[in-house]
Each structure stands twice: as C-alpha cells, then as structure tokens.
C-alpha cells in the first residue's frame, strides 16, 4: 500500500490513487476496530488475572486463588496493563484527531507485541497459556488489510517468542520446553501470518473482481 | 472528542474526509488543502468517514473508560508506584474524552456533546468509585486479616 500522490496522469495512476484512498479508509476503520478489540481483550484477560489473584466462589463456579499469583506479580501485571490502556488511549486520541500516519499501525502493533512479551516474561514464559496472545496479535494485524503489517507482526511475534525461549534457556531453566514444542509454535506463528496474508490477497482480488463486474454490467445493454 | 463547528473544518474534495482548518493537507489522502478544487466547505459534502466508524470510536472510548476503571481497581489493591501509575489513568482518560474530532461538525453536534458530557461524568465516577472501592477492600482486608 504505497502512497500515490495522484499527480501522474493515465488510467493506471488514477486507479492506483483510488486504490490508495480506499486502502487508507479501510486502514482507518481497521485501526479503529483493532483498538476496540485490543481494549476488550485487555479487559477480559485482566479480569482473569484478578480472579486468579483473589479467587472466585459463586457457588456453582469456583475458581481457587492461584498461589503463584502473589501481590508482586499482580502489581507488575497491573503496571503493564496501565501502560497498555495508555497505548489504547493514545491510539484513540490519534484517531479522533485524525492524526493517522502510515506508521501508526506499526507503532501500536509493536507496542502490543512488546507488552505481551513483557507480560509473558513475568509469567511462565514459553509455558504460559497466554502465548495464544501472539496469534491474537497476528489476527489483529489482518484487520488493517495490510500485507506489510502482517509480515512485520509475524516477525515481531517470532522474535518475542525467541526472547522468551532465550530467557528460559539462560535465566529460568525450569520453564524450558522441548525443542519440538518450540519448533511447532514458531511454525504455527509463521503459518498464521502466511494464511492471513493469503486472505488479504483474496480480499484485494475480490474487490477488483467486483469492481470489474460492476463496470461490465453498467456497460452492457438492458 | 468535543464537537467542532463547521467553520473549523474543511472537507477534502478528493476523498471526502473532514480536516481541521490548520491542516495543510488531507489527513487521509495527503491531497493539498491549498488547491481550490479539492477544498470545499465542510457542509457541502458529507463526511467520507462512515457514521458506523464514528460510532465505533465512541463505543471504543466507553470500553477504554471501563477497562481503565477496572485496572484502576486492580491498582488500588497495591501501594506505592503501581498505585500512582493507576491514578495516572484518570488524566489520560480525560484527555481521550476531550480529544476533538473534525467529524463532529454536523447536525447531531448538540446530542453528541450531551453524550460526551455523560461519558466524561461516567468515566470520572467509575474510575473514582473503582479506586475508592479498591482502597476500601484493601482496608477491610487488612483490618479483618483477610476475607475468607
């Protein structure tokens, strides 16, 4: 989705310009939706953390207090969540003010991957169930319909996972996982990015096909 | 997200999105705001930003407020820097609520302002109550030696 100024003449330049404008609209709507999803996911996971920190007893549903989730852990998780809400507030403010540079989506996604990796470093690293968060972030990248962003997010997620593996290998050996586990997870991350990229390509083909069919239908006699 | 008057914004003639008066080029398509054919009065063209997206951003802010209050509640169980960090959420949420948007310059401005005022009130009340409830919870926890 490179920027086209529209100053060039010719049908190709005009089509590229229109595609650029349509893509920017979709990026804006996607960023807005991604921010909503980000804050919903953050709130949901934080509720789970609060429940494991305090315990829950509703009679029918009982979730015992997790002994490993102590006050220090809760404090660290809360600090990360405050930073994450800060990211969501900043993105929301930018969108409202129509401050929407092309790199905003990369910055917000980079912040997401960094904060998730920090959260996982605090928790059980490569053994944590929160690892699924990386897949959620790759899915969120797909909302912006930008191949470059999906590639960058996939790469960032793989790097984040490798950081966790390095941390487990050199500092917290109790959290190490078997090699095949690591390979499967990295492959799953990469393939998620590839599959999502295929969906984005299909969306572009769909819109082009639809546009061509409309033009043909308008040109054909009744 | 306060309302802006029609005089404060211009609409890009190329992509139809609204821009603040001081923006030299369109925020969305980068078309220059100085070239006359591309710069039309805000009321002359409908906003290209779909109303659904504007509505979604309002909903998004409500969620930000809710989760901010939730995290503030979580922070209130703590003391020291993390609690202070939780308190920082309050001014951040105020900034978010009062961020202006060029797409607010329409006939619904008055109603939107009223909703925004309600949102601001709700946000302040929710975050304050969350912090107070959390502090009370910690106090009871300490006094009673832990709630069984």
**Is ipTM beyond 0.85?**
no
For residue B94, give how far its alpha carbon lies from the nearest alpha carbon of chain A (Å).
10
Interacting residues of A57 by C-beta distance below 8 A, sequence separation 6+ = A63
Cβ–Cβ gap A39/B48 under 8 Å: no
Cβ–Cβ gap B95/A89 under 8 Å: yes
Cβ–Cβ gap A43/B53 under 8 Å: no
Substitution target from B82, B116, B134 for chain A, most A beta carbons within 10 A: B82
Cβ–Cβ gap A89/B67 under 8 Å: no
Rounded CA-CA distance A91/A84 in Å is 11
Cβ–Cβ gap A32/B71 under 8 Å: no
The per-residue pLDDT for B16 is: 79
**To the nearest whole percent, how much of chain B has pLDDT over 90?**
0
Q: What angle do CA B16, B20, B26 make, to 5 degrees?
A: 45
Rounded CA-CA distance B136/B108 in Å is 41
Query: Is it the case that residue A156 has pLDDT exceeding 90?
Result: yes
How high does pLDDT run on average in chain A?
A: 87
The per-residue pLDDT for B19 is: 81
Q: Is B53 on the interface with A (CB under 8 A)?
A: yes
Cβ–Cβ gap B74/A49 under 8 Å: yes
Cβ–Cβ gap A46/B14 under 8 Å: no
What's B37's DSSP letter?
G
Of A24, A76, A95, the CB nearest to B57: A95
Rounded CA-CA distance A126/A106 in Å is 25
Q: Is B48 on the interface with A (CB under 8 A)?
A: yes
- Could you tell me the pTM of the whole model? 0.78
Substitution target from A29, A85, A97, A104 for chain B, most B beta carbons within 10 A: A85
What does the domain layout of chain A look like in residue ranges?
24-210
Rounded CA-CA distance A175/A173 in Å is 5
The per-residue pLDDT for B146 is: 46
Instruction: For residue A191, give the H/E element and its range.
Output: helix A179-219
The per-residue pLDDT for A218 is: 78
Distances in whole angstroms, Cα of residue A159 to Cα of each of A27, A92, A115, A185, A186: 25, 27, 13, 12, 10
Is residue B99 classed as helix, strand or coil in its secondary structure? coil
Query: Average pLDDT for residues A33-38, to the nearest whole number?
Result: 92
Distances in whole angstroms, Cα of residue B56 to Cα of each of A92, A95, A125, B49: 11, 11, 34, 11
Distance in Å from the first CA to the final CA of chain A: 37
* Phi (first) and psi of residue B143, to 5 degrees: -65, -45
Q: Is B112 on the interface with A (CB under 8 A)?
A: no
Residues of A with Cβ-Cβ distance to B56 under 8 angstroms: 29, 32-33, 36
The per-residue pLDDT for B136 is: 64
The per-residue pLDDT for B44 is: 41
């Amino acid at each position: 989705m490179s920027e086209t100024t529209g100053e060039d003449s010719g049908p190709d330049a005009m089509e590229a310009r229109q595609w650029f404008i349509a893509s920017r609209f979709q990026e804006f709507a996607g960023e807005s939706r991604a921010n909503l999803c980000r804050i919903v996911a953050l709130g949901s996971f934080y509720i789970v953390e609060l429940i494991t920190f305090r315990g829950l007893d509703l009679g029918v549903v009982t979730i015992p207090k997790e002994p490993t989730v102590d006050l220090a852990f809760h404090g660290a998780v809360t600090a990360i969540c405050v930073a994450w809400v800060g990211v969501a507030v900043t993105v929301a403010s930018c969108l409202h003010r129509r401050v929407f540079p092309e790199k905003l989506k990369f910055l917000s996604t980079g912040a997401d991957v960094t904060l998730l990796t920090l959260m996982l470093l605090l928790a059980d690293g490569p053994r944590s169930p929160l690892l699924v968060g990386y897949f959620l972030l790759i899915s969120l990248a797909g909302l912006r319909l930008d191949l470059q962003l999906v590639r960058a997010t996939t790469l960032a997620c793989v790097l984040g996972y490798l950081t966790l593996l390095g941390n487990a290998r050199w500092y917290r050996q109790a959290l190490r996982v078997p090699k095949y586990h690591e390979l499967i997870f990295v492959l799953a991350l990469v393939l998620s990015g590839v599959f999502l990229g295929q969906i984005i390509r299909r969306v572009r083909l769909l819109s082009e096909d639809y546009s061509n069919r409309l033009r043909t239908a308008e040109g054909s006699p009744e | 997200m306060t309302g802006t008057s029609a005089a404060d914004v211009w609409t890009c003639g190329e992509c139809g999105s609204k821009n603040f008066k001081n923006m030299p080029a369109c925020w969305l398509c980068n078309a220059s705001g100085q070239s006359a054919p591309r710069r039309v009065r805000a009321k002359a063209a409908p906003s290209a930003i779909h109303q659904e997206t504007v509505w979604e951003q309002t909903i998004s802010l409500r969620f930000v407020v809710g989760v901010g209050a939730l995290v503030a509640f979580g922070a209130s169980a703590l003391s020291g820097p993390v609690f202070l960090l939780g308190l920082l959420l309050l001014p951040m949420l105020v900034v978010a609520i009062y961020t202006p948007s060029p797409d607010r310059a329409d006939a619904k401005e008055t109603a939107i302002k009223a909703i925004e005022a309600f949102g601001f009130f709700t946000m302040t009340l929710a975050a304050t109550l969350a912090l107070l409830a959390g502090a009370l919870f910690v106090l009871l926890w300490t006094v009673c030696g832990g709630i069984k």
